[in-house]
Structure formats: structure tokens, C-alpha cells
């Protein structure tokens, strides 16, 4: 009997959601190359004690790290003794995480776009939304996740009786970035509600089919609600290793193999390119489409509009056009609420990242206008953006999307 009680206790512990009570997010801004060296050393030597939300990349660019109460004092002291200032960005990660789950109007008859939703609620909305707007919207199955969930898209476009070029917008590839799928849902709603009422939207849906992939990584997203709010990867089992999951944005089969090799790290690239069925099946689907003009992968956070390449500092042959369109898109976005974005190639703007979706879309699928977008904010809330910023994020981002679609209309 005692053994059964102990076993039951162990099982409860194993499946209990991870608590981030007492965790803080600290910001350190390097003022010199020496400072940058210190922070890079911290990242390499104590990565098992902290979670880098923003990695060291250049002088003057903030570094954000999440640290538990267990290690906070020693790490803060270590950093401060090297002359670096430590600023507390988030005082209690758990408290902010719980606030994200609160609903303004949980009993409303209409879907509440101003709240974050569990995976089942998102799936139910996608089904009902497609059914209630069947002239413009259809539900498409793209792939099956490691745990057997269906990765779906809402295909939005006016019926013309002929094949149209495609605009591909995807969200939620990193599961802890909740604002990405939330903003994707509202932008989808804006597309449909705008048809016949907004000249730009009407023209877009007449000329293109939009594939809106609301949640690319359903296994990981579900896990952020049930087990670990800060989970980023897939949920595949790394046989023979201590840690599960692969970073699905380091697993695409283009210049794969120069990203994270530690299975326990958030940026683990996987045992081989396309090891994740989510990535392999979605890429196969994209290659089967006709004339994909735009590919945008929405992430959070940092407020950046990024272009290829990620794997190298070298710029692609189409960079001038990509840069110009990204600049115009950011200007349109910023004109809405004054939100500041930076733009440029992935490697030169943040850090080198091989095996990414954007590099694959441009380098393999030949989609010239391929972008990775880091949505709000710049670090005040980070991955824990309050729900009241979902709709403003979607509205301003949609203005940028319209600029890019106009740029490829020919």
C-alpha cells in the first residue's frame, strides 16, 4: 500500500504543471565588447540555471534572462561584480502567466479575440469560423503532429473558379509565443469581415488565396497550458536523451546543422533535418502549392521584421527588394499606433540561425518575399504579453501584411 502511495505521488509530481513562482526576468544591456564577452560567457557556462529570452548579440542591445529565486542572487551578484547593471523587467513570472489566462467576458456568445485561448477553443473556433463563412473560408488539413494532433489552416479567398497565387501566413511555431496564434486569428477575422467592405481586402481576396496557419505547433502549445508555460519546442521524444522536443524553427532542410546541438536546449536543431513530422509534412504541403508569393512566419517578441538569410551574414541577391518591402511594411505598421520595429536580415539583425523556416521558404521554395516577424513587445512583458495587446498587435501587423501583398500583386 505504501509503495502505491509513493508511486501515485511521483506520478502527480511528474505531470504537475511547472510553477514559475519566484522567477524573475532580468535585463542586462552590454555597454562594451567586454560586457558582451561576459554575458556570452554567462550564457555558455550557466545555461542550465537560466533561460535566455534575448541572447547576447551586440553592444547596446539588451539581454533578457529568466532566473529562478534559487539562482537569482548568485547570478545577479556575478553580473554586478563585473560592472554590469541588472534591471528587473518581470518581478513574478508566474503571476504574469496566470494573468494571461484571465478572460474579460468568458460567457460572451461571440468569440473573444481579446483573450488567449486553449488549443481546443482555437480548434473549435476554426471549425465554426470556416462553417459560418463557407463562401470565403475552408478548413484544410496540412499535417499531423508527433502526438497525433492535426495541423490545420484556414484557406481564405474569394471563389473564382481558377487557381490563384498563395499568401502563406503561419503562427505559433514556437509554442510559448502566445500572441502569435492569437493575432493570427484576429487577422483572419479582419480578412473575412473586410471582404466587400474594404477595397484593399476585397482586392486581396479576389487575387490571392490566403493560407492562415493559426497554430503550427499544437503539441507544444497544449503543453504550455498544461505543463510548462515557457515550453518552446515540439514534443517529440529524443530517444536515448534526457530531454524531449526539437526547435521546429531550426529543423527545416536548408543549411541545417549549425544551430543548437544540445537536446535539452530550446534551440535544439534535432538529430537530422526534417526529423520533426510537423516540419516535413508542412514543407511537403507548401511545395505542392501553386505560385506562393509571400511567406511570413510570426513569432514574439522583439518587434522586428526580418529577411533572409538567417544562416549567414551574407545577403541574398534579392535583398534590396526584400529590405525595401520590409521597410515599407514597418512604416505602415508603425503609422497605426507608433510601435517601433527594426528590420533587416536575420543574421545581421539578431543572430545567425540555420535551418529556419524563412531561409527554407526563400532558398528551397523560391518564395522571394519570405519574412520572419517578431511581434510585440520589446521586453517589458516578453513572452507574457497581456491579452489587451492582442487586437492592437493584429491590427497594426495587418497593415504591414497589406503592404507586402500589394508589393507582389502583378
DSSP state string for 198-219: -HHHHHHHHH-EEEEES-S-HH
How far, in Å, CA of 223 to CA of 10, rounded?
19
How far, in Å, CA of 92 to CA of 73, rounded?
15
CB 215, CB 181: distance < 8 Å? yes
CB 248, CB 219: distance < 8 Å? no
How far, in Å, CA of 273 to CA of 258, rounded?
11
Write the DSSP symbol of residue 249: T
How far, in Å, CA of 308 to CA of 306, rounded?
7
CB 123, CB 255: distance < 8 Å? no
How far, in Å, CA of 29 to CA of 79, rounded?
11
From the list 43, 77, 71, the residue with the least C-alpha distance to 351 is: 43
Catalytic hit among 170, 222, 374, 396: 374
Q: Which residues contact 191 (CB under 8 A, 6 or more apart)?
A: 156, 201, 204, 205, 210, 212
Q: Which residues contact 167 (CB under 8 A, 6 or more apart)?
A: 204, 208, 209, 210, 211, 292, 293, 294, 401, 405
Q: Which long-range contacts (CB under 8 A, 24 or more apart) does 46-55 make?
A: 46/71, 46/75, 47/265, 48/264, 49/75, 50/75, 51/230, 51/266, 53/25, 53/379, 53/382, 53/383, 54/302, 54/379, 55/351
How far, in Å, CA of 181 to CA of 126, rounded?
12
Is 374 labeled as catalytic in the residue annotation? yes
Write the DSSP symbol of residue 122: H
User: Grid coordinates representing 64?
Assistant: 533578457
Residues labelled as active-site residues: 374
Amino acid at each position: 500500500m505504501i509503495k502505491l502511495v509513493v508511486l501515485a505521488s511521483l506520478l502527480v509530481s511528474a505531470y504537475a504543471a511547472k510553477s514559475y513562482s519566484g522567477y524573475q526576468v532580468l535585463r542586462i544591456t552590454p555597454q562594451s565588447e567586454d560586457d558582451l564577452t561576459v554575458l556570452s560567457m554567462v550564457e555558455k557556462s550557466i545555461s542550465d540555471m537560466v533561460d535566455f529570452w534575448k541572447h547576447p548579440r551586440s553592444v547596446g542591445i539588451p539581454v533578457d534572462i529568466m532566473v529562478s529565486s534559487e539562482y537569482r542572487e548568485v547570478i545577479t551578484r556575478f553580473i554586478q561584480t563585473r560592472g554590469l547593471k541588472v534591471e528587473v523587467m518581470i518581478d513574478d513570472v508566474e503571476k504574469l502567466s496566470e494573468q494571461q489566462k484571465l478572460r474579460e467576458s468568458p460567457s460572451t456568445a461571440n468569440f473573444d479575440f481579446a483573450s488567449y485561448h486553449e488549443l481546443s477553443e482555437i480548434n473549435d473556433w476554426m471549425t465554426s469560423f470556416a462553417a459560418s463563412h463557407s463562401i470565403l473560408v475552408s478548413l484544410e488539413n496540412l499535417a499531423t503532429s508527433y502526438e497525433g494532433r492535426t495541423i490545420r489552416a484556414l484557406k481564405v479567398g474569394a471563389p473564382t473558379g481558377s487557381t490563384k497565387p498563395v499568401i502563406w501566413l503561419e503562427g505559433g511555431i514556437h509554442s510559448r509565443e502566445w500572441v502569435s496564434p492569437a493575432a493570427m486569428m484576429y487577422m483572419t477575422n479582419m480578412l473575412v469581415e473586410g471582404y466587400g467592405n474594404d477595397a484593399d481586402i476585397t482586392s486581396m481576396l479576389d487575387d490571392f488565396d490566403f493560407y492562415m496557419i493559426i497554430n503550427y505547433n499544437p503539441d507544444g502549445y497544449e503543453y504550455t497550458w498544461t505543463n510548462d508555460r515557457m515550453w518552446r519546442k515540439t514534443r517529440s521524444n529524443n530517444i536515448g536523451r534526457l530531454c524531449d522536443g526539437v526547435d521546429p524553427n531550426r529543423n527545416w532542410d536548408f543549411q541545417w546543422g549549425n544551430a543548437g546541438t544540445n537536446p535539452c536546449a530550446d534551440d535544439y536543431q534535432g538529430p537530422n533535418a526534417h526529423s520533426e513530422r510537423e516540419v516535413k509534412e508542412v514543407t511537403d504541403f507548401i511545395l505542392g502549392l501553386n505560385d506562393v508569393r509571400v511567406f511570413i512566419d510570426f513569432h514574439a517578441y522583439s518587434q522586428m521584421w526580418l529577411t533572409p538569410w538567417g544562416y549567414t551574414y551574407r545577403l541574398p541577391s534579392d535583398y534590396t527588394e526584400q529590405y525595401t518591402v520590409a521597410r515599407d511594411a514597418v512604416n505602415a505598421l508603425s503609422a497605426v499606433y507608433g510601435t517601433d520595429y527594426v528590420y533587416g536580415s536575420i543574421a545581421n539583425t539578431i543572430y545567425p540561425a540555420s535551418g529556419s523556416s524563412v531561409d527554407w521558404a526563400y532558398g528551397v521554395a523560391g518564395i522571394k518575399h519570405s519574412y520572419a516577424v517578431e511581434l510585440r513587445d520589446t521586453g517589458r512583458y516578453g513572452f507574457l504579453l497581456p491579452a489587451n495587446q492582442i487586437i492592437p498587435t493584429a491590427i497594426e501587423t495587418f497593415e504591414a501584411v497589406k503592404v507586402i501583398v500589394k508589393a507582389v500583386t502583378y
